[in-house]
Chain A
């Protein structure tokens, strides 16, 4: 094995072009587990820690640019206002030790269907900035996940930044597991209200080979909100509407039975999370707030 230590982004791209099978390592919270357990023996391990640009973020007019190595801890501390859904999701990752090292860029690189950031990115709207010596691509996050632990990156590409839409309205994230810490999601749900464009988006995790948006459910809800004039009236949503949205979210799932939970349980749980998080975000919108709930551990029930 060879250890590559590029000092700059340009050096990293050149190294990746020369060694397309090189495995990038930033926080190491996924890659080192595989190496420790002999599940992976890459010919080249490429340390990205020395590249300062990857640890930086920038709040723009419409988007937040997050460097690929920015750890979850920083997103929780510094970006909870602009990216409430992603901050909530980040807070459910592993433990403090893991959140000090793990990053959204790494979550995307690993592309596990259970990755915690994916539902939040899908709900908020995000693009992955991938770069190689050949040039730069902006990949909508929906198109980034191509299979179980597979993504749209070419062999010579690295993730440079993730561009996430700044919240225009309330966002929520919900995750099912056996405890609050150190849990790989049994299933997870992200929702974002976009009042300016009058759109609600929902992201599902751990219920299909890839993270995905519940598009049929979104379309139904968006039409119902428009037809009922709810965005303007800010009226309470009828329970039947929330139930139908939840059912359609369940319909988007294609889960499996595994050690963490059964397919039937996952379907059931997604329905509950969809109904609850829609209720929480809509209530927040009605009250004129843009923020979602900040407490955790079942502080709110519906």
Chain B
């Protein structure tokens, strides 16, 4: 079957999709978007987290056909998505990384990097929804994302950093 949906603001189409195929497989193998990672295929690890009509979901548990006509954001589109939302950076590619991505780098929250795309999408959504998250908020928002390099402390640091920077920017913006 053919599936068509919007990914990161652009219309994507795939043909000959098997009816039982996951959204994750279509993104990675048919649409050339391998940022979302494939690990557990059962919703345990969160490596494939994407935004489906704004909500963080495991792409491995959405049948590709269920995404027909819907709007997706993957880690590849995070910088542009964040720029449009926050009104930061200039139009043409000035913000190469979303603030949450820069914070992960600055905090050293990346080791092997496999869990990182899912964590970035989940963390970005948390800060969008809860600009000043408590530690409990962060832990809950990231509870569906596993890191096996034992990097959780740095990941928590990165989310705190991203939230603090966004907050500081807002204060500056008001002055």
Judge: A and B partners, yes or no. yes
Point out the residue from B22, B61, B141, B143 that lies within 8 Å of A29, measured CB to CB. B61
Complex contact B63–A3 (CB within 8 A): yes
Chain B residues with CB below 8 A from A3, complex form: 1, 19, 63, 65
CA distance A174 to B57 in the complex (A): 26
- CB-CB contacts below 8 Å: A239-272 with B: none
Q: Does A84 contact B (CB under 8 A)?
A: no
Q: Does B109 sit within 8 A of A, measured CB to CB?
A: no
Size band of the interface chain A makes with B = 20 to 34
Q: Tally inter-chain residue pairs, CB-CB below 8 A.
A: 89
Size bracket of the B interface: 20 to 34
A224 contacts the other chain (CB 8 A): no
Q: Which residues of B in the span 70-111 have a Cβ within 8 Å of any Cβ on A? A: none
Answer yes or no: A225 CB below 8 A from chain B CBs.
no
**Across the interface, which residues of A come within 8 angstroms of B19, CB to CB?**
1-3, 45
Interface centre among B1, B43, B122 (most CB of A within 10 A): B43
Is B35 positioned at the interface, with any CB of A under 8 Å from its CB?
A: no
A97 with B58: CB separation less than 8 A: yes
Residues of B within 8 A of A45 (CB): 19-20, 63, 65
Q: How far is the CB of B138 from chain A (nearest CB, A)?
A: 12
Instruction: Tell me, yes or no, whether B140 is within 8 Å of chain A by CB.
Output: yes
Chain B residues whose CB sits within 8 angstroms of the CB of A25 once the complex forms? 63, 66
- Interface flag for A32 (CB, 8 Å): yes
Tell me the nearest residue of chain B to A179, going by C-beta.
B143
Interface centre among A2, A35, A41, A180 (most CB of B within 10 A): A35
Listed in ascending order, the chain A residues whose CB lies under 8 Å from chain B are 1-3, 5, 25, 27-29, 31-33, 35-37, 41, 45, 47, 49, 73, 94-98, 100-101, 180-182
Which 8 pairs of residues, A with B, have the shortest CB-CB distance?
Answer: A95-B144, A181-B143, A1-B19, A3-B19, A36-B41, A32-B61, A33-B42, A100-B55
